[in-house]
Chain A
Amino acid sequence: MNFSNAFKDPVLCRGLLDRLRAETDAPLRFMEVCGTHTVAIFQSGLRPLLPEQVVHVSGPGCPVCVTHESEIAAYLELAERDKVIIATFGDLMRVPGPGGKTLKSAQAAGARIEVVYSPVDALSLAATHPQSTVVFLGIGFETTTPAVAATIKTADRQGLKNFQVLSFHKLVPPALGALLSDPDCAVDAFLLPGHVSTILGTAPYNFVAEQFHTPGVVAGFDPADILQALLLMVQMRRRGEYAITNQYSRAVSDNGNPKARSIMYEVFRPADALWRGIGTIPDSGLVFTDAYRQFDAMEQQELTLRDVPNTPGCRCGDVLKGKMQPDNCTLFAKACTPARPVGPCMVSTEGSCAAYFKYNIGS
Chain B
Amino acid sequence: MTAETLLLDYGSGGRASQRLIAELFFKHFDNPYLTAMNDGAVLDIRGPVAMSTDSYTVDPLFFPGGDIGTLAVHGTVNDVAMMGARPAYLSCGFILEEGLPMETLERIVTSMGLAARESGVLIVTGDTKVVPRGCVDKIFINTTGVGEIIADPAPAGDKARPGDVILVSGTMGDHGLTILSHREGLSFATDVASDSAPLARMVERLTYETGSIHVLRDPTRGGLATTLNEIAAQSGMVFTIREEDIPVRESVRSGCSFLGLDPLYLANEGKLICILPADKAQQALEIMRQTQFGGDAAVIGQVLAPGDGPGKAGQVVMQTPLGGHRLLNMLEGEQLPRIC
Contact = CB atoms under 8 A, between A and B. Distances in A.
Given A46-B324, A361-B315, A361-B325, A337 B336 contact: no
A361 B318 CA distance: 10
Task: Name, among A17, A47, A117, the residue most crowded by chain B CB atoms within 10 Å (CB to CB).
Answer: A117
Given A45-B319, A357-B329, A359-B329, A36 B340 contact: yes
Contacts of B311: 361
B323 A89 contact: no
Given A94-B333, A117-B259, A338-B333, A141 B340 contact: yes
Contact of B327 (A4, A93, A339, A360): A360
B186 A90 contact: no
Contacts of A8: 321
A117 B183 CA distance: 12
A44 B332 contact: no
A91 B335 CA distance: 9
A357 B331 CA distance: 11
Interface in B290-331: 310-312, 315, 317-327, 329
A114 B317 CA distance: 36
A115 B335 CA distance: 12
Interface residues of B, number: 29
Nearest to B257: A4
B40 interface: no
Contacts of A114: 185
B324 A139 contact: no
Interface in A50-106: 63-64, 89-94
Interface residues of A, number: 48
B322 A144 contact: no
A180 B73 CA distance: 60
Contact of A223 (B322, B333, B335, B336): B322
B318 A45 contact: yes
Contact of A143 (B259, B321, B340): B340
Given A45-B326, A117-B259, A361-B315, A10 B321 contact: yes
A30 B264 CA distance: 30
B329 to A, nearest CB: 5
B260 interface: yes
A348 B338 contact: yes
A48 interface: yes
Contact of B336 (A17, A36, A45, A91): A91
A283 to B, nearest CB: 21
A64 B339 contact: yes
B317 A361 contact: yes
Nearest to B326: A359
Interface in B17-56: none
A6 to B, nearest CB: 13
B134 interface: no
A349 B338 contact: yes
A45 B326 CA distance: 5
B323 A14 contact: yes
A140 interface: yes
B322 A13 contact: yes
B340 A42 contact: no
A31 B33 CA distance: 68
Contacts of B336: 90-91, 93-94, 115, 349
Given A10-B321, A337-B332, A361-B310, A90 B338 contact: yes
Contacts of B320: 43-46
Contact of A10 (B317, B322, B326): B322
A116 B185 contact: yes
Contacts of A46: 320, 322, 324
B337 interface: yes
A1 interface: no
A358 B338 contact: no
Interface in B254-277: 254, 259-260
A63 B329 contact: no
Contacts of B329: 357-359
Interface in A179-195: 195
Given A140-B340, A361-B310, A361-B311, A48 B186 contact: no
A241 to B, nearest CB: 28
A83 B58 CA distance: 29
Nearest to B185: A121
Interface in A304-363: 337-339, 348-350, 357-362
Contacts of B322: 10, 13-14, 17, 44-46, 49, 223
Interface in A133-182: 139-141, 143-144
Contact of A42 (B185, B259, B326): B326
Contacts of A141: 340
Contacts of B333: 94, 338-339
Contacts of A36: 340
Contacts of B338: 89-91, 348-350
Nearest to A46: B324
Contact of B325 (A4, A45, A93, A121): A45
B324 A44 contact: yes
Nearest to B310: A361
A48 B310 CA distance: 11
Interface of A: 4, 8, 10, 13-14, 17, 35-36, 42-49, 63-64, 89-94, 114-117, 121, 139-141, 143-144, 195, 223, 337-339, 348-350, 357-362
16 contacts: A8-B321, A35-B340, A43-B326, A45-B325, A46-B324, A49-B323, A117-B186, A121-B185, A144-B339, A144-B340, A338-B332, A338-B333, A339-B332, A359-B326, A359-B329, A360-B326
Given A13-B322, A63-B340, A94-B336, 7 more contacts: A44-B320, A45-B318, A46-B322, A89-B339, A114-B185, A117-B337, A141-B340
Interface of B: 185-186, 254, 259-260, 310-312, 315, 317-327, 329, 332-333, 335-340
Q: Considering the complex of A and B, which 7 residue pairs feature the smallest CB-CB distances, nearest first? A: A45-B324, A90-B336, A45-B320, A338-B332, A90-B337, A339-B332, A359-B326
